[in-house]
Structure 1
Amino acid sequence: MRDRQWYLQTLDIAAAHRLSTGEGVIVGVLDSGVGPHPDLDGRVLDGISYVPGNNNSRVDGNGHGSAMAGIIAANGGTDDHLLGIAPRAKILSVRTGNGGKSLGRTNIPNGIRWAVDHGATVINISEGGKLEPGGQAAVRYALDHDVVVVAGSGNVSQFAPGSGVIEPAAFPGVIAVSAVDRTGIVWDGAIGGPEVVLTAPGVDIPAVCAEGGGRVPGYYLTSNGTSNAAAVVSGAAALIRARYPNLPAAGVIQRLISTAEDAGPPGRDPDYGYGRLNLINALTADVSTTGTNPLLPTASPTLDSGSGRDGSGVSAGFLIVAAGGCLVLMLAGVAGAVGVRRRRT
């Protein structure tokens, strides 16, 4: 399995782990829950479930949340197991959906606030769409409490053409992440737009396939999506926070964007944002400190007015095939679509 993790070489993860492993950092994963898997043993903290009638955050009927948790913090071990970007970080499971039926809401705003209040200093949101009222205010709550918020920009296969970067990635202050392939070229399935901040590996990514929903522990051999890229950047943020424990969230973001490898047109652009993640530079470069989130406008953004937003109830299609007791994903980086406003990214 380790040989399939091509991006570990691209990011020089071996050198990165000599500097930081994410020890002491809690990453909140807002997703379908995190199920049992050997590669996640000891990494996952009990969180909260917003699924009606099921208050267990440590189950995953969909597989997506566990996959993201593994990209961020899988233990590694032998080459038969996957290695996370921040293998000593802890995952706080915030189960915003069950992956199987519409809940009528994303639960992302409540999930953000809960994760902040329970110790997360990085929050990964590899899902989204049109959030219910309170989404932007919840993001600002996280930022005001020194939390780094990372979210996928969205996949074109799941949203109408021209819909733009999805929420919460589109909100000011969030690290909106798009995906690149093995060659460093932006993935043609990613949603771009002026809100994109960074790109990171998101194509041909293997992932843990945790127990739950009829699955037994195993691996997804490949998946594509901005979900994966967001999880990679969340792991990078955890490494920075562990290496520089006194650095505020604004400084973590500044390190990530100021050290990125520029791609596309010079400067920030709608496809690559500030550029491709350069993990070693982000961990080692001499970067000016800042107490202000560089992704926020000079004036405070207008928060939600409380008016509702209508989302699409159309589920994304996907193809799965059996593989050694688990599943191989052959889709745009998702293990299914959840909810009336929710899409995996």
Structure 2
Amino acid sequence: MKRLSLPAVAAIAAFGLLGCADENPVAPESAPSFVPQASVSVDAASLDRHLVLFNGRGVPESFAADVAGLGGSVVYSHASGIAFVSGLSEPAAADLAKRSGVAEVMADEAVELLPVNGVQVEAADATPASPATPSLAFFYPRQWHLRAVGANQAWAAGRRGSSAVTVAILDTGIDYLLPDLVGRVDLSRSASFVPNDDLLVQANFPGRHPVTDLHYHGTHVAATVTSNALVAAGVTSGVTLIGVKVLGANGSSFAGSVIAGVLFAVDNGADVINMSLGGGFSKAGNGRSVGFINRVFNEANREEVTVVVAAGNESADLNRNGNTFKSYCDAPNVICVSATGPTSRASLIGPWANIDAFAAYSNFGSAIGVAAPGGNTGGSVIAGCAKTSLTFRICATGNFVLNSNGTSMASPHVAALAALLVEDGLKPSQIRARIRQSADDLGAPGTDPYYGSGRINIPQALGL
């Protein structure tokens, strides 16, 4: 399981990937040469980044000049009254905080992830299939998680997703040339908020878009939302994706990158945002930090964007967080997703036992909106492996999938359902309500801390 190794966090949320693995890694046998991943590290010079919160909406006209006069530059600013700056010393940041219209200036925090415990990599002898027939995907017979939520029933009814609906994947990027994702990613609306990673992309894959996934996590999440269904099927096969890279090849970045990524997705036409990442920070003395996050997620809701977030993999009771703000389940107007999965299987293609069992690693509590398949001891979530991954370099040599467990894998199932409901004309509040009302009630009757309103049921949500 991935866990965060965090520096002291005094302000905004610490975060990282929420994927959790259940198998031993397959040793790479033959793979192309890459610039070493070790060259990707948190640049100490980048730690002079600051987040700025203004009084009310808008950014003062003199702000960029004020920052430049103090020796810094504006990295990103947004009409909601938020900006990110770099190059300021602490005294300069303190001076900026005194300027007219500025409510708060906070140091942006860097985070690191502990090493991956293991993800199973498997090759496919894939033959061309069609997005119109996802059940023909090579690995579909093993994708218990798609049948668990009734995705196959939606396909049979012609509900495979619309290219007019956009899901933003806030993650490590997307391998947009992966066969399962070719044509699904709108690069004109995709972006990277991890400058160090951009350099590494160009060193290893000259000419590729900065959103290229050098990790693997973002591609796996993206291909769960939608897939061309050559190697593995996704919940949909017609939805448009935009990649918003907020975490780098080593799983590191800044909290400000995540916030900027949310606002970018909102401004670039995302209907749904998936956030398979998270962390937490102390509320004590950080009331403005909570307000900062709340402002961002309220902005998304105001612009009619549905946000789906992973609950986390610490087996933690979110009701006993004490003074901790759980990002991003504690943010307003989000769907917080816990994980389920089978406890055993008779063979690789089933049958699977206790397919809706609550996953022991999943966080739980009253913040949980619904549950979805994330994998368990009897089966993992299967989706494509990025050919650009510096973690699993063998994936560059053919068509591979990753078997992975985690609430990171559960969240994109819900994001895909939200996309189908956008197609039906529902607004975010209606989507949140429909997903909960149509879920299969599991665990204790009614809403409970493990499943929330229940495990999602796609055909029921779509009225099929």
Q: CA deviation at 1:128?
A: 1.2
In structure 1, what is the Cα distance between the partners aligned to 2:226 and 2:278? 22
In structure 1, what is the Cα distance between the partners aligned to 2:318 and 2:389? 29
- Name the structure 1 match of 2:179: 38
Q: CA deviation at 1:98?
A: 0.6
Task: After TM superposition, list the pairs within 5 Å mapping 1:118-197 onto structure 2.
Answer: 118-130=268-280, 133=289, 134-156=292-314, 163=321, 166-182=326-342, 183-197=355-369
User: Deviation digits for residues 104-125 of structure 1, max 9, x if unmatched?
Assistant: 4352211111001101000000
User: Deviation digits for residues 210-267 of structure 1, max 9, x if unmatched?
Assistant: 122332153344211001110110011111212x1x3212111111011111112222
Question: Does the Cα contact within 8 Å between 1:108 and 1:135 map onto a contact in 2?
Answer: no
Q: CA deviation at 1:60?
A: 1.0
Question: Does the Cα contact within 8 Å between 1:136 and 1:168 map onto a contact in 2?
Answer: no
In structure 2, what is the Cα distance between the partners aligned to 1:93 and 1:252? 22
- Name the structure 2 match of 1:60: 213
Q: CA deviation at 1:103?
A: 2.7
Q: Under a length normalisation based on structure 1, what TM-score does the superposition of the two structures give? A: 0.76
Corresponding position: 1:257 with 2:410 = no
User: Structure 2 counterpart of 1:179, which letter?
Assistant: A
User: Deviation digits for residues 18-61 of structure 1, max 9, x if unmatched?
Assistant: 24222111000000000131100100122110112455443111
Question: Does the Cα contact within 8 Å between 1:97 and 1:106 map onto a contact in 2?
Answer: no
In structure 2, what is the Cα distance between the partners aligned to 1:21 and 1:12? 12
- Name the structure 2 match of 1:12: 150
Task: After TM superposition, list the pairs within 5 Å mapping 1:326-345 onto structure 2.
Answer: none
- Cα distance change on mapping 1:207 and 1:201 into 2, 3 Å: same
User: Structure 2 counterpart of 1:155, which letter?
Assistant: N
Q: 1:2 aligns with which of 133, 140, 147?
A: 140
In structure 1, what is the Cα distance between the partners aligned to 2:233 and 2:145? 11
Question: Does the Cα contact within 8 Å between 1:153 and 1:165 map onto a contact in 2?
Answer: no
Question: Does the Cα contact within 8 Å between 1:206 and 1:219 map onto a contact in 2?
Answer: no
Over the aligned positions, Cα root-mean-square deviation in angstroms equals: 2.3
In structure 1, what is the Cα distance between the partners aligned to 2:182 and 2:401? 18
- Name the structure 1 match of 2:191: 48
Q: Secondary structure at the match of 2:167?
A: strand
Q: Secondary structure at the match of 2:186?
A: strand
Q: 2:454 aligns with which of 275, 278, 281?
A: 275
Q: CA deviation at 1:196?
A: 0.3
Structure 1, unpaired ranges of 5+: 286-345
Corresponding position: 1:208 with 2:384 = yes
In structure 2, what is the Cα distance between the partners aligned to 1:14 and 1:101? 33
Structure 2, unpaired ranges of 5+: 1-138, 199-208, 343-354
- Name the structure 1 match of 2:370: 198
- Cα distance change on mapping 1:175 and 1:160 into 2, 3 Å: closer
Corresponding position: 1:222 with 2:403 = yes
Q: Secondary structure at the match of 1:223?
A: strand
Identity of aligned residues (%): 31
Q: Under a length normalisation based on structure 2, what TM-score does the superposition of the two structures give? A: 0.57
In structure 2, what is the Cα distance between the partners aligned to 1:159 and 1:125? 20
User: Structure 2 counterpart of 1:226, which letter?
Assistant: T
- Cα distance change on mapping 1:249 and 1:161 into 2, 3 Å: closer
